[in-house]
Amino acid sequence: MSADASPRVGLNRRKWQGAYVKRLAITDAVVVVLSVLLAQWIRFGYEDLLDPASGTNFNYAIFSAVFIVGWLTALSVFRTRSPRVIGAGYDEYQRVVSATLALFGTIAMVAFLAQQDIARGYLAIALPTGLAGLLFGRLMWRKVVVRKRSRGEFRTSVLVVGAAKAVQDMARDFARQKDEGYRVVGVCVPRYSGAPGESIQVGDRRITIYGDERSVVEAVQLSGADTVVVTATETLGTEGIQDLVWQLDPLDTDLVVATGVVDVAGPRLEMRPVAGLPLIHVEKPSYHGAKRSGKRLFDLAFAGAALLALAPVFAVIAALIKLDDRGPVFYRAERIGLDGEPFGMIKFRSMVVDADRMVDTLLEQNEGAGPLFKMREDPRVTKVGRVLRRFSLDELPQFINVLRGEMSVVGPRPPLRREVEAYDGRVKRRLLVRPGVTGLWQVSGRSDLSWDESVRLDLKYVENWSMVTDVLIVGKTLKAVVASDGAY
């Protein structure tokens, strides 16, 4: 273990971001041109592609050229290639979708006002083809960025101005989300009286302390940081932060001010200037009304389709369990659901019969977090059960719980009664929504998570859940299950 004296030698952030943006622009242009030409060719045929004005009063050659330029312009106007969102996933995809829908909405309005009938088949082909191509292109380039970051490249080096606790929490969060590419390389502690060069321990790393809040510029130069994150806003004050902005400007270093609002997603945060001050308003989370009804409809549709599609798999698994030890196929485990109501969570049996009675003899070997009992090499697990657990196949019957309204497809982890009895007022917020077959806990480490981390992820989901988030979590779950990450 050694202190971080300097950042890893690699491409300058501005350089790699510039090159990345150019590649995105080229990819976008190729996708847009091909999708528009494909739509024109399918709708009007090969001859009309060469002579688009033949047989129609509308010149589709000119329209296609304007269409292409307008689409690429919309992608630029919506800042889909901004360094703030490139490689960021959801925000980047959302901007691409918004830009595309805005363009097609504008075309529809202009066509209506000009009383010009544009072939609907032409637009019906161009829109989904182009949008799918744009999103796929972003996905592929994002994979390149993730691969680079796993090798220590394409990183954002962060200097944190704040207390040791804030630095430790931020460094752990950044380490957990490696795909984001952030790494804390130094810290300035307000009112620090120790000697520069001392360090803070975070996991297996030591992060250098470069001084107090007046040492930020020097610390940036020594650490090679390209971003400064301020958590100690009360110490610097308004004038101090403004001075810091001016000092960092010649260094081409970004300044980020942490709000102190933990685990609240962007849609609930809104910047509103009041009396000349940029105040951040935090909207209340929504657990009722149309939002919950929409989630329930999604649950019913998804669970029904999943059970129908997985019926042959259920039959095979049931046969293997019966052949293994002749015991029951399903196992009901008590869990606490919405508003603290208990229910029987259905799973394929993966342990020997009466496994619950053997827990007391194995407590000394518990590897689980908090009140959870987990063992990597649990002797109660059957041969068939080990395979089921590795790929999370034992959890498939929980879709029956979803249809019965006891669970949701996506939600907090289903808690045990003894867990709920130990909840404080804050943790009880987990019970405001139905527990899920999958959730943030499932795609963020599963059994490898500590108790505090699993609780934090559950609360983060409860505070910010939305249909878009649910869809993204379902997609990440499939990836995590295939990789068997944290499953035992």
pLDDT at position 12 = 65
My answer on whether 191 and 338 are in the same domain is no
Who wins on pLDDT, 3 or 295?
295
pLDDT at position 402 = 96
Say how many Å lie between the first and final Cα of the chain, rounded: 30
The residues, ordered by sequence, that sit 6+ positions from 291 with a Cβ below 8 Å of its Cβ are 466
Percent of the chain residues past pLDDT 70, beyond the cut: 79
Question: Does residue 52 register a pLDDT over 90?
Answer: no
Q: What are the helix (H) ranges across 289-347?
A: 290-309, 311-325
Who wins on pLDDT, 125 or 269?
125
Who wins on pLDDT, 27 or 3?
27
Mean pLDDT of 155-169: 84
Contact 206, 200 (CB under 8 A): yes
Who wins on pLDDT, 22 or 7?
22
pLDDT at position 408 = 93
My answer on whether 60 and 38 are in the same domain is yes
Per the domain annotation, does 265 fall within a domain?
A: no
pLDDT at position 3 = 42
My answer on whether 338 and 474 are in the same domain is yes
Domain range enclosing 47 = 13-150
My answer on whether 68 and 176 are in the same domain is no
Mean pLDDT of 114-137: 84
- Please state, in angstroms and rounded to a whole number, the distance separating the CA atoms of residues 305 and 103: 34
pLDDT at position 316 = 94
Neighbours of 212 (CB within 10 A): 18
Q: Name the pairing type of β-strands 199-202 and 205-211.
A: antiparallel
- Please state, in angstroms and rounded to a whole number, the distance separating the CA atoms of residues 410 and 437: 6
Report residue 104: phi and psi, to 5°. Answer: -70, -35
- Please state, in angstroms and rounded to a whole number, the distance separating the CA atoms of residues 375 and 366: 6
Token reading at 473: 């979590």
Tally of domains in the chain:
3
pTM of the complete model: 0.64
The residues, ordered by sequence, that sit 6+ positions from 463 with a Cβ below 8 Å of its Cβ are 263, 264, 265, 268, 285, 429
My answer on whether 142 and 211 are in the same domain is no
Count Cα neighbours of 11 within 13 Å in the Cβ-side half-sphere: 16
Count Cα neighbours of 360 within 13 Å in the Cβ-side half-sphere: 2
Lowest mean pLDDT across 18-27, 138-147, 230-239, 426-435: 230-239
pLDDT at position 48 = 53
My answer on whether 319 and 347 are in the same domain is yes
Question: Does residue 73 register a pLDDT over 80?
Answer: yes
> Which contacts (CB < 8 Å, 24+ apart) does range 257-262 have?
257/229, 257/230, 257/233, 258/162, 258/166, 258/170, 258/229, 258/230, 258/231, 258/233, 260/231, 260/233
Q: List the one residue out of 446, 436, 431, 430 whose CA is nearest residue 481.
A: 446
pLDDT at position 4 = 43
Task: Give 72's pLDDT tier (boundaries 50, 70, 90).
Answer: very high
Q: Which of 113, 131, 150 is the last residue of a domain?
A: 150
My answer on whether 216 and 247 are in the same domain is yes
Q: CATH code at 182?
A: 3.40.50.1980
Token reading at 465: 């859940």
My answer on whether 305 and 412 are in the same domain is yes
My answer on whether 215 and 129 are in the same domain is no
Mean pLDDT of 127-150: 88
My answer on whether 116 and 251 are in the same domain is no
Task: Work out the angle at residue 266's Cα, subtended by the Cα atoms of residues 263 and 156, and round it to the nearest 5 degrees.
Answer: 80
Question: Does residue 339 register a pLDDT over 50?
Answer: yes
Contact 13, 163 (CB under 8 A): no
Q: Which of 114-118, 140-144, 261-265: highest mean pLDDT?
A: 140-144
pLDDT tens digits, 398-440: 999 999 999 999 998 888 888 888 777 777 888 888 999 998 8
Q: Which of 116, 150, 184 is the last residue of a domain?
A: 150
Instruction: Tell me if residue 300 falls in helix, strand or coil.
Output: helix
Question: Does residue 233 register a pLDDT over 60?
Answer: yes
Q: Which of 87, 120, 150 is the last residue of a domain?
A: 150
Per the domain annotation, does 264 fall within a domain?
A: no
My answer on whether 68 and 200 are in the same domain is no
pLDDT at position 484 = 55
Token reading at 372: 């959870």
For the chain, what is the mean pLDDT?
A: 80
- Please state, in angstroms and rounded to a whole number, the distance separating the CA atoms of residues 201 and 175: 14
pLDDT at position 347 = 93
- Please state, in angstroms and rounded to a whole number, the distance separating the CA atoms of residues 347 and 39: 48
Report residue 412: phi and psi, to 5°. Answer: -65, 160
Q: Which of 118-132, 209-223, 285-299, 305-319: highest mean pLDDT?
A: 305-319
330 - beta bridge partners? Answer: 348
